[in-house]
Chains A and B, each alone.
Chain A
Amino acid sequence: MKIEFVLYASLTQFVSGSVAGKPITLEIPDKATVNHVLHMMAIPSDMALILLINGRSGTKEHELSEGDRLAIFPPIAGG
């Protein structure tokens, strides 16, 4: 199945050629989890990442569905 995958801030360093906020389409196995995608894209999964799936907060164990948008941020804050 296909999902939309987008990285932000310092995470772009892990995927060569990626640009913050520019989504790419990923082909992943059915029922793959966020963890699976992290592994596939070589993003260190021990980082305290912020995961948003279709704009909602998610976990690494979340099972993705066709057409989902997975956005990943490093620990950030401001205000």
Chain B
Amino acid sequence: MEKILRVDMGAEGGPKTTLVPPGEYAGLGGRALTSAIVSKEVPPLCHALGEENKLVIAPGLLSGTIAANSGRLSVGCKSPLTGGIKESNAGGMASQTLAKLGYAAIVLEGKPKTDNLYTIFVNKGGVKIESDNTLKGLGNYALIEKLKAKYGDKVSYMSIGPAGEMKLAAASIACTDMECRPTRHAGRGGTGAVMGSKGVKAIILDDTGVSMRPPKDAEKFKEANKRWVDGLKKHPVTGEGLAAYGTNVLTNILNEAGGYPTHNFMWGRFEGHTKISGETEAALEKERGGNPTHGCHRGCVMRCSGIYNDKYGNYLTKQPEYETVWAHGGNCGIDDLDTIAMLDRLDDDYGVDTIEMGATIGVAMEAGLAKFGDGEAAINFVKQVGKGTNLGRILGSGAAVTGKVFGVERVPVVKNQAMPAYDPRAVQGIGVTYATSPMGADHTAGYAVGSNILGIGGKTDALSPEGQVDLSRNLQIATAAVDSTGMCLFIAFAVLDQPETFQALIDMINAFYGLNLNGDDVAALGKSVLKNEREFNIKAGFTSAHDRLPGFFSRDALPPHNIKFKVTDAELDQVFNW
């Protein structure tokens, strides 16, 4: 990954490309690279949709290699949703393809002078940018079908739907999967709106005639990758659990633990949980000729994703993830998998974050715009986002905006980003991560659920504030490092429990780059990423007051445990004190 492609979308006479060596960013990948570029080059006080913001797309350090599960992509920018720095992580094929083509990053800069819509095509021969206004308004599915007629289905696509074109703060960037469907999204934080503000509808990455990236020490790399794969296969979660039921296996356990946010974070248990659980979903997928065991990119051995067919056996959407099933399911009182799958399909098509969208509908239901449990109303809400009606644009701006417009107090956001599928009162460790992550409420930023509920990476009492700050700090550091490697975060389940698997990962990086890193260096990398991100946010106007959960979490007790969030403000302020 010896070059960075910079595209000035605002250049006189149309977009202008420059190829530059990584320079001061050499040796960085994924989130480390996106956050380094954004924190160095984007003025923190700029408007997220303005010419000074940049959209940085970076494969991880090990993407484009034979390393298992190395195909995760980082997308960074100043977030139009949070106003802070953003790294949104996506699966799909784009990361492997971009890395194989030799790019450490693509950086979209400037602001177009016209309202033309562009495609950017990258292959081994170079870069071609074309204006194509016939793509305007297309949903991701129709867009990819249209582009496939020109570029085929052996390439990777990154694209935005109408929500991105409308620059809505919940807009995502879709990445195509192994079947060339736009199902894997850089969902969080409105990255799609930033791509829309740059006038780019799609990026097409074609790695025809390009080989895998060669390691410095091929033998050692191969050997370390073998230990790596063995380690992932040996752990019961990464080896079997994720493949059998997908991430939605969590519905039942979070419900049982009383931490499943129901009816917009009113209760911790949902009556209809078994109807929408991972067990039910996997069985239904099999029955309809879908597939509950599927990888989102080539080289994934954990295979948590799947294919969801409708009742006639036709493809409807990818297997909705736990977060999606929760956001549109229990959070909105909806207990019908087909309705949830349709919402997932619509979200992917219009290009919006499923978590933000579900949380927003929960807030809208709380406001009385529809009754909890009304699946048809939920579908209609998302359709309005796609159409860009006035109500749709409000909803597409996320839960915080919707709460303000309709006068709702119980709005589950931090830094304006909606909380995912764990109530921080019953899973106190994840509350610390929600409150303090530079990303806003984000479960992946420090997945304390593992230790609090699942007994992975040690055991902590989910209902007690004790030890949660240390837990979240360590996880946030480790996650920032993992997000820089291109590895899927789910490798952490094996890495946290099996020191030899963690060593295999470090050995792979060392063999690939000819380095001599150890565990401390990995932690140092994680800390430096967080430091960049925190500094950006501070300059953007964030203070410790932004590292807090909404007040109702420490005021209103959550049934069934009747518990409040008990980590104190003073403790929260210690998270980044290492």
Contact = CB atoms under 8 A, between A and B. Distances in A.
Nearest to A50: B455
A79 B246 contact: no
Greatest chain A CB density within 10 A among B244, B257, B450 is at B257
B241 A75 contact: yes
A24 B449 CA distance: 28
Given A57-B459, A78-B247, A52 B253 contact: yes
Interface of B: 236-237, 241-242, 244-250, 252-253, 256-258, 273-274, 277-280, 304, 321-323, 443-444, 447, 449-450, 453-456, 459, 461-463, 489-490, 493, 560-561
Interface string A6-32: 101110000000001110000000000
Contacts of A56: 257, 463, 561
Contacts of B443: 79
B253 A8 contact: yes
| Size category of the binding interface on chain A | 20 to 34
Given A20-B279, A21-B273, A57-B459, A77 B454 contact: yes
A79 B462 contact: no
A77 B489 contact: no
B491 to A, nearest CB: 11
Nearest to B268: A55
A78 B246 contact: yes
B340 to A, nearest CB: 16
B279 A52 contact: no
A21 to B, nearest CB: 4
Contacts of B322: 78-79
A48 interface: yes
Greatest chain A CB density within 10 A among B242, B246, B279 is at B279
B47 to A, nearest CB: 32
B236 A74 contact: yes
A42 interface: no
Interface string A49-79: 0101001110000000000000101111111
Contacts of A73: 252-253, 256
A9 B321 CA distance: 16
A48 B257 contact: no
A47 to B, nearest CB: 8
A52 B257 contact: yes
B489 A79 contact: yes
21 contacts: A8-B253, A8-B256, A9-B249, A21-B273, A48-B236, A55-B560, A56-B561, A57-B455, A75-B236, A75-B241, A75-B456, A76-B249, A76-B454, A77-B237, A77-B493, A78-B250, A78-B304, A79-B250, A79-B443, A79-B447, A79-B490
Contact of A78 (B242, B274, B459, B560): B242
Contact of B244 (A6, A9, A57): A9
A78 B236 CA distance: 12
A57 B249 contact: no
Interface of A: 6, 8-10, 20-22, 48, 50, 52, 55-57, 71, 73-79
B468 to A, nearest CB: 14
Contact of B242 (A10, A57, A77): A77
Nearest to A10: B244
Contacts of A52: 253, 256-257
A76 to B, nearest CB: 5
A48 B302 CA distance: 19
Contacts of B244: 9-10
Contacts of A50: 253, 453-455
A77 B456 contact: yes
A76 B253 contact: yes
Greatest chain B CB density within 10 A among A10, A74, A75, A76 is at A76
Greatest chain B CB density within 10 A among A50, A55, A74 is at A55
B543 to A, nearest CB: 29
Given A52-B253, A77-B456, 18 more contacts: A8-B256, A9-B241, A10-B244, A20-B252, A20-B279, A21-B252, A55-B257, A56-B463, A56-B561, A75-B456, A76-B245, A76-B253, A77-B450, A78-B246, A78-B322, A79-B250, A79-B489, A79-B490
B237 A9 contact: no
A77 B463 CA distance: 19
A68 B463 CA distance: 18
B456 to A, nearest CB: 6
B431 to A, nearest CB: 16
Nearest to B247: A78
B561 A55 contact: yes
Given A76-B250, A77-B456, A9 B256 contact: no
A74 B424 CA distance: 24
Greatest chain B CB density within 10 A among A6, A10, A75, A78 is at A78
Given A73-B252, A77-B490, A79-B489, A9 B245 contact: yes
A71 B489 contact: no
Nearest to A47: B236
